[in-house]
């Protein structure tokens, strides 16, 4: 299934049904009064977060969603049938905005969370308008008109840990080793084109979710490369893992320079994201000798406490990293 994380389209609730103009016509009931019923209420457009959805691709091609209008009232004070609601299932973590103003309408961050555009109320039948001086009203009320608007849907993945790094830093390989996720892995940059999620099991009853987003490059926050499109998926992460390869990543500079570049891009995108709790991780240690490994760890230790070294290929440090991330993602007591 194609991954789509933003889309806009038009929605319209249902109009209320008109009230009825009717009079009693029973035999032996002279001068029967008005008995026109009310119109039915229009259906609502309801967005509901579902754990069975993980992309917005279902909304990519249909540009208008409209709920059913209410039915007209009937004689004998019978109310018209209400219009059916239109329920649109979206992934958990979907943010709903007004497409014109980008005003936040709802953040559907939990299963079952919902937001609705109400339908119009049904019009009153002529039975409502009879008075002592006007006993035969020959008019009824129209139903309320439908409400329409354009909405913008933006998906932000729900993950405890976000993997951040340059292209080919080893993020996807690490995700495939610590979880059942199977992202594309290849020995060249930009193999990850969309975010990937994986559930990491630490032991019985202990697990957390990790998000791997496409690699960042210099200028990502201004639109360079692919990573800027997916930085929003890191906004819900409790902890960010800054992953840098032990060797030279295509002349991208020292490990310290690479970490600084990552932090600049996060700061430019969202200062709050740059201040998120982080874990510095040196990856691909199997590709360098002990001296290079020690030098790289020493450089990272000047940027943050307790940097970790791992090799997803040999398994070095992976279990320790998983345990550290589990502890870091637990809510404070």
Q: Mean pLDDT across the stretch 242-256?
A: 77
Q: Quote the Cα angle for 101-55-182, to 5°.
A: 140
Q: What is the pLDDT of residues 190-231, one digit of tens each?
A: 445 577 888 888 877 788 899 888 777 665 555 555 556 678
Confidence of residue 60 (pLDDT cuts 50, 70, 90): confident
Amino acid 193: pLDDT: 56
| 3-state class (DSSP) for residue 32 | coil
What is the per-residue pLDDT for 188?
41
Instruction: Give residue 325's pLDDT band: very low, low, confident or very high (50, 70, 90).
Output: very high
pLDDT given at position 110: 92
Q: How far apart are the C-alpha atoms of 322 and 100, rounded to whole Å?
A: 43
| Per-residue exposure over 104-118, b if at least 16 CB sit within 10 Å of its own CB, e if not | ebbbbeeeebebbbb
Give the three-state DSSP class for 229: helix
Angle formed at CA 198 by CA 197 and CA 200, multiple of 5 degrees: 150
Q: Comparing 103 with 218, which gets the higher pLDDT? A: 103
Please report the DSSP string for 300-328 in residue order: HHTTSSS-EE--TTT-TTHHHHHHHHHHH
Question: In 3-state terms, what secondary structure has residue 107?
Answer: strand
Among 55-64, 66-75, 192-201, name the one with the lowest average pLDDT. 192-201
Helix (H) / strand (E) element for 104: namely: strand 104-108
Is the pLDDT reported for residue 333 higher than 70?
Answer: no
Average pLDDT over residues 112-129: 95
In contact, 143 and 70? CB cutoff 8 Å: yes
- The CATH homologous superfamily for domain 161-329 is P-loop containing nucleotide triphosphate hydrolases (3.40.50.300)
Residue 180 confidence (pLDDT): 78
Question: Which residue ranges make up each domain of the chain?
Answer: 1-155, 161-329
Say which CATH class 1-155 falls into.
mainly beta
Percentage of residues in the chain with pLDDT exceeding 70? 89
284-302 pLDDT per residue, tens? 998 888 898 899 899 999 9
Nearest to 300 by CA among 272, 263, 250: 263
Relative to beta strand 86-91, strand 45-50 is parallel
pLDDT at residue 234 above 90?
Answer: no
pLDDT at residue 250 is higher than 80:
no
Q: What is the pLDDT of residue 117?
A: 97
Residue pLDDT, tens place only, 155-185: 888 889 999 888 878 888 898 898 876 755 4
- Measured distance CA(245)–CA(227) in Å, rounded: 18
Helix (H, G, I), strand (E, B) or coil at 221: helix
pLDDT bracket for residue 189 (50, 70, 90): very low
Phi then psi for residue 153, to 5 deg, are -105, 135
Segment 3-31, tens digit of pLDDT:
688 899 999 999 999 999 999 887 777 77
**Cα 305 from Cα 45, distance rounded (Å):** 50
Sheet holding 86-91, edge to edge: 86-91, 45-50, 114-117
């Amino acid at each position: 299934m194609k991954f789509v994380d933003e889309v806009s389209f038009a929605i319209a609730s249902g109009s209320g049904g008109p009230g009825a103009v009717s009079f009693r016509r029973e035999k032996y009931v002279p001068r029967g009064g008005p008995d026109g019923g009310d119109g039915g209420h229009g259906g609502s457009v309801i967005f509901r977060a579902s754990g069975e959805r993980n992309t917005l691709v279902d909304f990519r091609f249909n540009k208008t969603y409209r709920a059913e209008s209410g039915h007209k009232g009937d004689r004998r004070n019978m109310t018209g049938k209400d219009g059916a609601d239109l329920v649109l299932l979206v992934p958990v973590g979907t943010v709903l905005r007004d497409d014109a103003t980008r005003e936040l309408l709802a953040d559907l961050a939990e299963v079952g969370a919902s937001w609705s555009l109400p339908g119009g109320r049904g019009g009153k039948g002529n039975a409502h308008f009879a008075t002592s001086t006007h006993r035969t009203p020959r008019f009824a009320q129209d139903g309320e008109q439908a409400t329409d608007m354009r909405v913008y849907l933006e998906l932000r993945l729900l993950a405890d840990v976000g993997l951040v790094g340059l292209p080919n830093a080893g993020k996807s390989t690490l995700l495939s080793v610590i979880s059942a996720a199977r992202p594309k892995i290849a020995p060249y940059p930009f193999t990850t084109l969309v975010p990937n999620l994986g559930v990491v099991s630490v032991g019985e009853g202990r697990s957390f979710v990790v998000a791997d987003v496409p690699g960042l490059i210099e200028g990502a926050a201004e639109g360079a490369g692919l990573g800027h499109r997916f930085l929003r998926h890191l906004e819900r992460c409790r902890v960010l893992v800054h992953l840098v390869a032990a060797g030279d990543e295509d002349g991208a500079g020292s490990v310290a320079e690479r970490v600084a570049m990552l932090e600049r891009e996060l700061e430019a995108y969202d200062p709050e994201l740059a201040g998120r709790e982080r874990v510095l991780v040196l990856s691909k240690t199997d590709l360098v000798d002990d001296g290079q490994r020690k030098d790289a760890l020493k450089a990272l230790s000047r940027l943050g406490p307790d940097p970790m070294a791992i090799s997803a290929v040999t398994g070095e440090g992976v279990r320790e990293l998983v345990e550290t991330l589990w502890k870091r993602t637990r809510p404070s007591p």
